[in-house]
Structure 1
Amino acid sequence: MTRIAVVGGHGQIARLLHPQLLAAGHEPVALVRREEQAEALRAEGVTTRHLDIEADDEAGFAAAFEGCGAVVFAAGGGADGDIERKRTVDLQGSTKSIVGARDAGVRRFVQISAIGVDDPLPADTQDVWRAYVEAKRDADLALRESGLDWTILRPGRLTDDPATGRVALGVDVERGEVTRADVAAVVAAALDDDRTIGRQWNLVGGELDVPAAIDEALSSER
């Protein structure tokens, strides 16, 4: 069993991830800001710890990760027009998680990003979308340069449809939709597959089950 810290532990993907981690024999540790969030998760058998992504510093993150064997960064600043939260949550939340993981002695780190964030943005891109893309891009760069055992997953447009169990993974996978439940399934699988360390893959709905999609992504890079 591995204790896995989930930053953004009450988010939509995180809530789908926790039962998969439990089913795999792990202990998810949902890091949440509000007590009512913690109560709801504990009622589902999920361990919780307090973490305020925006207010806490790197030492606070390290304390929240104590005793964990892996970190999943599943937080996001939301779909609203608050540009500053794209920086304080999507970027700084990630970079503080990276430092906190190192300081806590946690090497394994899986980050949920977004497809296409390395692509140039058109000149007429809306400011809030530009802030979001740049935050995700810079967070991924920081993780790639961290020296940790990282995996970066870059989903396409997220939907709330039921899990399909079928995805496409890879560096060159084109944009498409993917269910949040399928993203959670890929995160859980990546945590248990050391072959995904050092990989940055796009993730959309596809034709292969998750283990086969991981095998296909790895084979395509050989």
Structure 2
Amino acid sequence: MSSICSVAIISGHGKIGLCLAHLLSPKYTISSIICSSTQFQDILTTGAHLLLLSLEEASMQEFTKAFEDIKVDMVVFSFGAGGKGGLERTKAVDYEGVVKVFDAIAAMEKPVRLLLVSSINSHDCSKPAPSHYVRGNFKWTIVRPGWLINMPGVGMASIGRMGMSTRIVRDDVALMLSLLVEHPNAARLALDIVGGETPLKEALDKAIEACEMNMY
């Protein structure tokens, strides 16, 4: 049984973040962390609360305070530079931003879980992917999708250790994240997700039961 009540999503304005907020808001208190007031209206349609905080500009201490103020139980990090701003911004968001959030959670007195969206090719040490820098004694789970595409979710996937990159719908990644909220036993697992023929919940349950891990 999940003990989660309050979930913070970073960034709440991304396509996965918006879909995830829609899925979770009927059951949980959702805080969507965004960096611009121009994104407010999109967030309000999801049923989530707004929290204006820049991943690149705010300090680790500000994130800790924000998490404590909203009494967060779980943080979902689904924010990537997306190739915008060059290597410098990629490092600032995909590496330094992840480390900042990890340190912010580690500084909290209350135990908090983390779901981190990475990428399926992040085993390549030449790339500044966040999952190389995972650390901390709290419960974290890494979700590593293949090539992300925009189309309606199909609710089917292959989950576990894929070893190659194929496509996956963003909506289905959001669905996997929503299911992981109910899976505290997925701690310290790194799970790839790509398109497949298995109902997503069944694929996830089997992967967790088999402890299919890509550890770092």
The alignment's TM-score, normalised by the length of structure 1, stands at: 0.86
Question: How far off its partner does 1:215 sit?
Answer: 2.2
Query: Is this contact kept in 1: 2:145–2:194, CA < 8 A?
Result: yes
Residue 146 (structure 1) aligns with = 136
Residue 156 of structure 1 deviates from its aligned partner by 0.2
Listed as ranges, the matches of 1:40-189 within 5 Å are 40-66=42-68, 67-80=71-84, 82-104=86-108, 105-119=110-124, 133-134=127-128, 136=129, 139-143=130-134, 145-189=135-179
Given that 2:29 and 2:48 are in contact with CA atoms closer than 8 Å, whether structure 1 keeps it comes out as: yes
Aligned pairs for 1:14-33 (under 5 A) are: 14-23=17-26, 25-33=27-35
Partner residue of 2:39? 37
| Matched-pair contact (CA < 8 Å) for 2:158–2:203 | yes
- In structure 1, the residue corresponding to 2:115 is in which secondary structure? strand
Change (3 A) 1:205 1:172: closer
Number of aligned residues = 206
What amino acid is the match of 1:29? S
Instruction: Tell me how far 1:100 sits from its aligned partner.
Output: 1.0
User: Which is richer in helix?
Assistant: 1
How far apart are residue 219 of structure 1 and its match? 4.1
C-alpha change, 1:172 and 1:220, in structure 2 (3 Å) is farther
Alpha-carbon distance in 2 for matches of 1:157, 1:169: 14
Instruction: Give, in angstroms, the shift of residue 171 of structure 1.
Output: 2.3
Q: Which runs of 5+ in 2 are unaligned?
A: none
Gaps of 5+ in 1: 122-132
| CA separation of 1:120 and 1:95: change in aligned 2, threshold 3 A | closer
- Identical columns (%): 25
Offset, 1:9 = 1.2
Q: Give the residue type in structure 2 aligned to 1:50.
A: L
**Separation in structure 2 between the aligned mates of residue 116 and residue 146 of structure 1, nearest angstrom:** 22
Q: Tell me, in whole angstroms, the C-alpha distance in 1 between the residues paired with 2:44 and 2:66.
A: 16
Q: In structure 2, give the amino acid aligned to 1:10.
A: H
* Aligned residues of 2:63 and 2:101 also touching (Cα < 8 A): yes
CA distance in 1 between partners of 2:185 and 2:47 (Å) = 30
Residue type of the alignment partner of 1:113: S
Find the aligned partners of 2:106 and 2:85 in 1 and give their Cα distance. Answer: 32
Q: Tell me, yes or no, if the aligned pair for 2:31 and 2:48 is still in contact at 8 Å.
A: yes
